[in-house]
Chains A and B, each alone.
Chain A
Amino acid sequence: MIFRKSLSKKKGAAYSFFSGLSAGFVPAVLILIVQTFLTAILPLLTFIENDFGSTDRGEIILSKEKFKFLIFGLSDSYELYMVFGVLGILAILVAVRLFSFICDKKTVNVFYSLGIKRSTLFMSKYAAGAVLLIGATIIPVILSYIVNLIFLGGSWQLSLVLLHLYCGLSVFVLICFSAAAVVFSSVGTVSEAIVYSAALLFAPTIIIFLTEQIIGAFLPSSTINDSVIIFGSLRRYYYENTAASLLERTSDYNPLLFFVKELSAFSRGFLEKGEIQLRINGEPADWYFPRIFIHFPWFIIAVGLGVLGALLFKRIKAENCGFLNTNKILSNLTIFELCLVGSSVLLSEIEWQETWVVITTGIAAAFALYLIAEIFLKRNFLKILKSLYKFVAHIGVIAIIYGICATGLFGYGNYIPDRSNIQSASVYAPISHSQISTIAADTNWNQEWFIRVYEPYRYNLLPEMTDSADIDKVVAINKLAVDTEKDDGFNSNIIIRYKLKNGKTTERKHTLTSRQEMMSLLELVDTKAYSDELYKLFYKGITEEDVKKEQSLYGWVDPNYLMQLAFTYKYSEVSVKTDSLMEEKLLKLTEEQWNTLRDAVYKDITTQSLEDYFFGSKKQLGVLSFGINGNAHTLTGENMNVIYDEEATAPSVPDVTVPEEDISLPDDMPDELFPEEEFFPEEESKYEYTAFIQYQELGGFRGDTTYDVVISEDMVNTLSALNSMGFADCFKGELTIEAVSFREYDTSEIFSYYYRGDERTYIYDFFAYTLDRMEFWGMENEKNPEEIVSENKITDKAKLQELDSLMKLHEYSFDDGYFCLVKYSDGNYTVKYLSREDAPDYVNNFNYTMNGEEIYYY
C-alpha cells in the first residue's frame, strides 16, 4: 500500500514531466534551429567562403589564418539584441505550452483534482521546460565545436569560449522561461501571462534606459548617452560615447543584457600575427578570459524563480483562472512601465521643443497607453473611471523622477570635482584653431545667399590637459558655466571629462548661453596642452612606416592622419594665396627655408593674441597653406591621376611624371579643367612654379586637407621669413576689387539652432572662399550672377578701398555681420566677412532688400 502510494506519487510526477517535454517540444526545436543557424551554419558558410572563395585580388585567405575561433555568426550589438529578443520570445512560448493549463477553467478542474501535489506538478513541468531549453542550446554548441574543429582545429580558447557561449545562452533562455513560469503562477489569463512576462523581463531595461533619457534631457550637466562626432587634435574623427550609458554600466545586472556584450566580444577570435584578437564595439581588442562567473548568479536566479513559481502555484486560486486583472502587482508594474514609456515620447526632441510641449505630450501619451491597458484589463468604463486615481499615482511617481533630474539630481548637476583630486581634464568644445577646424567642421551652404560657413562641430576634442594652470582654466570655465544664469541667446554645449587621482573619471556637460561663457572658451586655445599639440602637428611629422602601420591596423588610412605629411618636408608643399584667394602661388623652398618658414609660422600662431586670431583685429593679408605633394602618392597604394602644367614645371622638382597610359580621367570631365587664362596671370610671374599638381579627391587631398593659415600683419616672424626668402610681395595680387555686394548675416535667422524651442545664436567660424561662375550656374534659379549681386552693391572706389581693409578672411562670428560678395577684376568672386562692429555707417545703414521676396534659407 505504501509502495503503491509512493509509486503513484512518482508516477504522476514522471508523467507530468514527460508530457511537459512533449508539450514544449515545438518551441524548443525552434530555439534549437535558431541557435544552430547562428552558431554552426553561419560560421560554416564563412569558413567555406574563406577556404574556397577568393578576395577581389584573387587571393584565398584560409580560415585558419584568419580565425582562432568563430562561434557565432553575428557580432553587431543590434543584431544580437534581435537574436536575444527572438530567443526570449521562444522561451516564453515554452512556458506558455507548459503552464497555460493554469489559465483554463476546464484544465484547472482536472489538474487540481489529480493525485499530485501542486508543487510537484509545477516543478515537473518546470523541469521539463528547463531540460528542453538546455538541450536546445547544447546541440548547437556541439555542432559549433565540430565546425570549428574541422576548419580551425581545436584549442583551449575554443573550448573555453564555447563553454561561455553555452552557459550564457542556456542561462538566458532559462531566465526568460522562469520569469514566465512565475508569472503564470500568479495570473488568470494567458494573454496577461505573456504581457506581464515581457514586462517583468524588460522592467530593468525600460526603467534604466528611460531614467537615463530623462537625466540626459533634463539634467544639463549629464553626459549620459551623449554620442558625438569629435575631432581630435590630430584631425582624426570618430564617434565616441562620452560616457557609457547607464544601461551598459548595469548590463551585468540586467536579465536581458548580461550576456550580449560578452557574446559580441567573443563571437569570433581573430588571428593577428599569431596573437588572438577580439572585437569590442567593432574595434580590435586584446584577448582576455571570458567572464564565465557571470552566469552563475543568473542561473541561481533562474532556479530561484522556478522555486518561487512553485510556491505561488500552491497558493493560486483556481477560481481566478480565466479572469483578467487578478494580480495587481504585475498589472500596476506593467502600467507604470507603459506610462514611463509614454511620458518619454518626445524626450529626444527636448532640444528642439519647448519644455512644456515635451511634458504635455508625454502626459498625453502616458494617459493614452494607460487607458489602453485599463480597457484591456477592466472592459468597464465605470470601473476605469473609479480607478483613475491610479494614473495620477503613476504620473506622480514619474513626475518625481523628472523633478529630481531636472532640479539637479540632488546636487549632481552642479558638481565639480575638488581641484586637488583632478589629475587631468579634457574638454569637448566648439572651439579650435583655424588650421584644424577646416575639416573639423560642418559646411553649411545657403544657395540663395551664396553663403558657406563652417560650423565648428559642437564637440571638438581639445588636447588632454595635465598642466596645473591648464586645469585651473578648465575648472574656472566649469564654475562659470555652473554659476552663470545670464542668457544672451547663445547655445553651445561643452563636455568636460575629469580624470581623478583615484583612477575614476567623471564627466560634466553644460549648455553655455551667455557671451561671457562663450568668450571664456577662447582661453582654452591659450593653454600648454594646446600649444603642445600644435607643436606635435608642426614638428612630429610621420613616416611611410607610420602610414603603412596605420593602414594595416584599420585597413585604410584616414586622410586626416595623412595630413601630417604636410609638415614633413619630403611630402610637403607650401603655397600662398592673396587676399582675393584667386591668385595662388607655390613656393619653391629648400629644406632649410621650409624649416625656417615652418618655425616662423609656428611661433606666430602660438604667440598671436586671441583677439587677433579669433577676431582678426589686424589686417589679413592672405593665406599660407601647407599641403601635400606628389611624393605621398605611394603611401595609399591608390591610383592617382596627375595633371600638371608643363610650363610651370621646374626642373629641380622631383619627377612625378605619370606615364600617359596610367592617366584615366572620368568621362564627364571637360577637356580643360583650368582654362589657362583664368588660372594663370597673363604676365610671366617672377615666381618659379613647381609642378602644379592637382589630385583627384581621394578622401581629401587639396582643398579639404591643407593647413591654411591666415596671415595677418601681426605675424611678423612669418612675414620676415618670407621676406628673407625673396617672397616679400607674395601676398600682393594683380586683381582689384570692382564691387562688393552685401548680405546681412543674422546667425539666428540663417542657420538656426534650437534650444528648448528657442532659436539660438550659434558660433560660426567664417573662412573666406571663392565662387566661380560654375557655382553660380549651379544655383537653382540659374539667374545671371550679376542679377543676384546687383542689390546692396557698392562700387565707389574710395569705399571699396576702405572696405578692402575691413573685410576679413577669417573671423569667429559671435555677432551679426555681413557676407561680402567681392567681385574682382577677373570676373570671379570671393566671399568675405565683415562684422557689424567693424562695418562703416554706409554699410550698416544700407537699405537691404531681396526684391521684396521672402528669403528662403537653404
Chain B
Amino acid sequence: MIEIKNLIKCYGKYTALDRLSFSVPEGTVYGLIGYNGAGKTTLLKTVAGVYKADSGEVLFDGENIYDNARQKSRLFYVPDDIYFKAYASMNKMAAFYNGYYSNFSYDTFKRLTDVFGLDPKKNLNGFSKGMQRQAELVLAMATNPDFLLLDESFDGLDPQKRQIIKNLVTEYAKDRGAHVIISSHNLHDLGDMCDRFGLINGKRLVLDHDMSDLGDDFTKYRMAFAEGDDKSEEDFCMVPLSKFSKDGRLITITVKGEREKAEALIKAMGPVYLEQFPMTMEEIFLEEVEGVDYDFSQIFK
C-alpha cells in the first residue's frame, strides 16, 4: 500500500502541496488529475522519493520512501521529462536499468519492444516523442516494479498506443498486485483505466474518489418546467446542487452526493421534462476547477 499522510511540500516560501492524504492499495490504478501547475508532478516526485516532503509522510508498505533503497528498488518512476543517456539506444538503457534493478527482465523487455514495434538498437534521439514515451514505458515494465508512477505518460501517443498502454497497465496492476499512480490530462483515458482518482485543486486534494461510486456521487440533471413556471436557482435551495445553469426553459444542475434525496426534491417541483446523466471525469474536473469564462471576441478586437 502507498499511503500519503498530510503531505506538505514547499518550494522555499511557496507551498505547492498542502496536507494531502490518500492511499493506493495493492492492485489499484490511481488517477491523478488537476489543472496545469496544480502539483501533480510535485506529488509524484515526492512519492517517488525524488523530493523530500517538508511535512507529512509518504509510506510504502509502512516505510518512509525517502532515501529508502529497499522500497525504491521496487519502484519505477516514469517522469514527464524523460531521461535517456546521450546517444543511447533502448538496449543501452536496458543495460543501465538492469544495473540498478535486480528484477529487470530482458525477456519482458524484448516482448514489449515487439508489442510496441520499437527497434531497441536504434538511437533514442531519433525516436519521436511518442516513441520515446513508449520506450520508457517498456523499460519501466521490464523492471517488474511493484510500484509504478507515471507522469503524463499518454502525452503524444496515438489512440492505438494509448489503448495498448491502458490495457497493459491495467492488466499488470491486477495480475501482479502492483500499485500504479498515473497522472494525465487525458481524462477520458484515465476514466477508462483507473480504479480511483484524486483531483488536486488549490494545493489540496479536493476529490479522492472511487470510480465505481462516481455515478452515485456526481449526477447531472436536465429539466424543463411548464410554460409560465419560471424557476430560478433559489427554487432549488433545498436540493444539494453544486452547479445551476439555465438556458431558456432548460435547466441543468449537478448534484454531489445524496442523489436520491435530490431526485425526490426535483420531482416534487413538477418538471415537465427530467433527465439524469452520469458525469464524466472531465465534467467533474471542469466543475471542480471552476475556470473563468472569457469573451474571446473582445480579445481579438
- Determine how close the nearest CB of chain B comes to the CB of A312; give it in whole angstroms: 13
- Determine how close the nearest CB of chain B comes to the CB of A200; give it in whole angstroms: 25
From A2-10, A202-210, A367-375, the one touching the partner chain is: A2-10
Q: Given A5, A9, A109, which contacts B77 in the complex, CB threshold below 8 Å?
A: A109
Q: Mark B75-96, 1 if CB is under 8 A from A, else 0.
A: 1110101110000000000001
Q: Check if A115 sits within 8 Å of B69, measured CB to CB.
A: yes
Q: Check if B69 sits within 8 Å of A319, measured CB to CB.
A: no
Q: Check if B81 sits within 8 Å of A12, measured CB to CB.
A: no
Given contacts A110-B83, A314-B67, is CB(A319)–CB(B11) below 8 Å?
A: yes
Given contacts A19-B99, A115-B100, A319-B11, is CB(A12)–CB(B83) below 8 Å?
A: no
Given contacts A7-B102, A116-B69, is CB(A105)–CB(B49) below 8 Å?
A: no
- Determine how close the nearest CB of chain A comes to the CB of B231; give it in whole angstroms: 51
Q: Check if A115 sits within 8 Å of B74, measured CB to CB.
A: yes
Measured between alpha carbons, how far is A113 from B101 in the docked complex, in Å?
A: 11
Q: Check if B48 sits within 8 Å of A113, measured CB to CB.
A: yes
Q: Given B50, B82, B99, which contacts A113 in the complex, CB threshold below 8 Å?
A: B50
Is residue B301 within 8 Å, beta carbon to beta carbon, of the partner chain? no
Is residue B162 within 8 Å, beta carbon to beta carbon, of the partner chain? no
Measured between alpha carbons, how far is A14 from B100 in the docked complex, in Å?
A: 9
Is residue B51 within 8 Å, beta carbon to beta carbon, of the partner chain? yes
Beta-carbon contacts under 8 Å, A109-127 to B: 109-110, 112-118, 120
Is residue A108 within 8 Å, beta carbon to beta carbon, of the partner chain? yes
Q: Check if B83 sits within 8 Å of A115, measured CB to CB.
A: no
Beta-carbon contacts under 8 Å, B216-274 to A: none
Is residue A107 within 8 Å, beta carbon to beta carbon, of the partner chain? yes
Is residue B209 within 8 Å, beta carbon to beta carbon, of the partner chain? no
Q: Mark A8-24, 1 if CB is under 8 A from B, else 0.
A: 11011011100100000
Q: Given B73, B79, B82, B83, which contacts A5 in the complex, CB threshold below 8 Å?
A: B73
Q: Given A11, A19, A115, which contacts B72 in the complex, CB threshold below 8 Å?
A: A115
Q: Check if B50 sits within 8 Å of A120, measured CB to CB.
A: no
Q: Mark B140-158, 1 if CB is under 8 A from A, else 0.
A: 0000000000000000000
Measured between alpha carbons, how far is A16 from B69 in the docked complex, in Å?
A: 14
- Determine how close the nearest CB of chain A comes to the CB of B280; give it in whole angstroms: 31
Measured between alpha carbons, how far is A67 from B101 in the docked complex, in Å?
A: 57
Given contacts A5-B73, A114-B100, is CB(A317)–CB(B79) below 8 Å?
A: no
Q: Given A106, A115, A314, which contacts B81 in the complex, CB threshold below 8 Å?
A: A106
Measured between alpha carbons, how far is A12 from B100 in the docked complex, in Å?
A: 4
- Determine how close the nearest CB of chain B comes to the CB of A316; give it in whole angstroms: 10
Is residue B52 within 8 Å, beta carbon to beta carbon, of the partner chain? yes
Given contacts A106-B81, A106-B83, is CB(A4)–CB(B45) below 8 Å?
A: no
User: Which residues of chain B have C-beta atoms less than 8 A from A14's C-beta?
Assistant: 99
Q: Given A7, A8, A106, A120, which contacts B79 in the complex, CB threshold below 8 Å?
A: A106
Given contacts A114-B100, A116-B100, is CB(A12)–CB(B69) below 8 Å?
A: yes
Q: Given B51, B71, B73, B101, which contacts A318 in the complex, CB threshold below 8 Å?
A: B51
When C-beta atoms are compared, the residue in chain B nearest to A5 turns out to be B70
When C-beta atoms are compared, the residue in chain A nearest to B74 turns out to be A115
- Determine how close the nearest CB of chain B comes to the CB of A116; give it in whole angstroms: 5
Q: Check if B73 sits within 8 Å of A115, measured CB to CB.
A: yes
User: Which residues of chain A have C-beta atoms less than 8 A from B96's C-beta?
Assistant: 19
Q: Check if B79 sits within 8 Å of A109, measured CB to CB.
A: yes
Q: Check if B50 sits within 8 Å of A109, measured CB to CB.
A: yes
Measured between alpha carbons, how far is A315 from B26 in the docked complex, in Å?
A: 31
Q: Given A7, A16, A317, which contacts B52 in the complex, CB threshold below 8 Å?
A: A317
User: Which residues of chain B have C-beta atoms less than 8 A from A7's C-beta?
Assistant: 102
Q: Check if B45 sits within 8 Å of A109, measured CB to CB.
A: yes
Q: Check if A113 sits within 8 Å of B77, measured CB to CB.
A: yes
Q: Check if B81 sits within 8 Å of A105, measured CB to CB.
A: yes
User: Which residues of chain A have C-beta atoms less than 8 A from B99's C-beta?
Assistant: 11-12, 14-16, 19
When C-beta atoms are compared, the residue in chain A nearest to B50 turns out to be A112
Given contacts A11-B99, A15-B100, A115-B70, is CB(A106)–CB(B82) below 8 Å?
A: yes
Q: Mark B41-73, 1 if CB is under 8 A from A, else 0.
A: 000010011111000000000000001011111
Name B residues whose Cβ lies closer than 8 Å to a Cβ of A.
11, 45, 48-52, 67, 69-77, 79, 81-83, 96, 99-102
Q: A5-B102, A12-B99, A113-B48 are in contact. List 10 more A-B contacts (CB 8 A).
A: A8-B69, A11-B99, A11-B102, A12-B69, A16-B99, A109-B50, A109-B79, A110-B83, A112-B50, A116-B72
Name A residues whose Cβ lies closer than 8 Å to a Cβ of B.
4-5, 7-9, 11-12, 14-16, 19, 105-110, 112-118, 120, 314, 317-319
A-B contact pairs, 5 of them (CB 8 A): A9-B69, A11-B102, A15-B100, A113-B49, A115-B75
Shortest Cβ-Cβ A-B pairs, 3 listed: A115-B73, A15-B99, A106-B83
